[in-house]
A and B are shown apart, each in its own frame.
Chain A
């Protein structure tokens, strides 16, 4: 759900275009004057950005602290907002490093992409990146929509993949935000891609506690919840494997400008290699459950996963 959430809030942002245009104009002025500064150290500073999404901010903090540990000067420009806003900043070189997600970013650059599975999506993303923007190694950590069921339900019908749903004898109800009803991963997509019939129940909390409650009550059998959402683990939910690529694969991937040199690239690629799916869930849980700030969570993670 959170992927769609990010995208939809990003869309909402576009509706308030006037406000944003002013904001961009102002920030544009600020960064332009910064860049004009002739100082040598200034031009060496790496600007790390992040989405206005807690999990993304933690990853950006890890990038920033890892680079600082390797001796780079880092400037943080975190919690910037949504894709429509910040991608432009990356493309024009105002931001040098940004944690992204393979699928949604590919869809942003190529809305009609046919790529669905992990490797295809990554390859297509590398090809579609505009001049001056580089896609570094992707992490195995994913943060994407998935059909989620309760463990009890999964065990009763021995469910592992979405395919297994065809053998479930009881009627299925899919719960999610209203817009999910007509999205490719709503009931229609489920029918087309997997031949599974499901009706739809709108629950407007984006895979939040009401959705989890509905799953546990049996009011719905399937919910669209983010794979990296700590509530999956906490509530003993099971994400069904999407073998046919109904959901666009969405791995954490660093997007970099030309200013990231070979050594910095190595540092970031080491971070990406060390960041596992379970590791990302654990990072998110620290933020949600302990309300720890991103910088603290990032510092702890780097102590446990040293990059140099």
Chain B
């Protein structure tokens, strides 16, 4: 209890928030790093997932690859990348992109694949081009699952972005590493609490976005029925 109180005192002390290693700076570093990593991962993984879902080709390969990527220990990958790329933010960024990709990919291809085949065929029969089918039929229907993938990827990255501090002077992970080894437990617990709070906040935002998009009256109802080829 004493430690929790100390951590709380550290969190509310104005001096903890200012300066080069103040909470304000660490929090924004952590947030920006998370957004950039998820952004890059989404730019790569979402189009790939959508194409796979649309063509229904390569799903076996992708599920094997994402399974393997999920099993990859991020810290091990970070050390391996760090040995090649040196210290700095690039190695942790790549390691986190690998961490985020499986959820994004799975959300995208499962979402698109779950769209009723008859709906897609109807669109095709109306003379819509394949890109138009993806854009106007499949993507809106797949949106909840894509968003779900984005949500879980963000949650994983914001929590694991702690590792950015393993090789660089970045993010809330600094409080955890420094606190752990320097026995500054108030800082350690306070830093962890901030990461939890940030993760909950981001997750809350996604929950809100998901609820709003599902409520959109112009959107077609989502089919729960799935057809497996």
Contact surface of A with B, Cβ cutoff 8 Å: 4, 8, 11-12, 175, 177-179, 181-183, 200-205, 209-210, 213-214, 217, 219-220
B22 vs chain A, min Cβ distance (A): 15
How many B residues touch A, CB cutoff 8 Å? 18
Q: Which 9 A-B pairs have the closest CB atoms?
A: A179-B182, A178-B178, A179-B181, A178-B177, A217-B86, A214-B87, A204-B166, A8-B181, A210-B82
Q: Assuming A11-B183, A178-B178, A213-B86, what are 18 further A-B pairs, CB within 8 angstroms? A: A8-B183, A177-B177, A178-B174, A178-B181, A183-B182, A201-B87, A202-B165, A202-B166, A203-B87, A203-B166, A203-B167, A205-B79, A205-B166, A213-B83, A214-B87, A217-B87, A219-B87, A219-B88
Judged by DSSP, the binding face of A is helix
Cβ of A175 and Cβ of B87 under 8 Å apart?
yes
B82-124 interface bits toward A, Cβ cutoff 8 Å, 1 = contact, 0 = none? 1100111000000000000000000000000000000000000
- Within 8 Å by CB of B79, from A181, A210, A219, lies A210
Nearest-CB residue, chain B, relative to A4: B181
Q: Cα distance A217–B182 when bound, in Å? A: 27
Q: What residues of A have a CB within 8 angstroms of the CB of B178 in the complex?
A: 178-179, 181-182, 202
Q: Cα distance A11–B178 when bound, in Å? A: 14
Cβ of B181 and Cβ of A177 under 8 Å apart?
yes
Nearest-CB residue, chain B, relative to A182: B182
Cβ of B87 and Cβ of A204 under 8 Å apart?
no
Q: Cα distance A8–B87 when bound, in Å? A: 23
Contact surface of B with A, Cβ cutoff 8 Å: 79, 82-83, 86-88, 165-169, 174, 177-178, 180-183
Q: What residues of B have a CB within 8 angstroms of the CB of A12 in the complex?
A: 180
Q: What residues of A have a CB within 8 angstroms of the CB of B183 in the complex?
A: 8, 11
Cβ of B87 and Cβ of A210 under 8 Å apart?
yes
Cβ of A209 and Cβ of B83 under 8 Å apart?
yes
Cβ of B169 and Cβ of A202 under 8 Å apart?
yes
A–B pairs, 19, beta carbons within 8 Å: A8-B181, A8-B182, A8-B183, A178-B165, A178-B177, A178-B178, A178-B182, A179-B181, A200-B169, A202-B165, A202-B168, A202-B177, A209-B79, A210-B87, A210-B167, A213-B83, A213-B86, A214-B86, A217-B87
Q: Cα distance A217–B169 when bound, in Å? A: 17
Q: What residues of A have a CB within 8 angstroms of the CB of B181 in the complex?
A: 4, 8, 177-179
Q: Cα distance A85–B123 when bound, in Å? A: 73
Q: What residues of B have a CB within 8 angstroms of the CB of A177 in the complex?
A: 177, 181
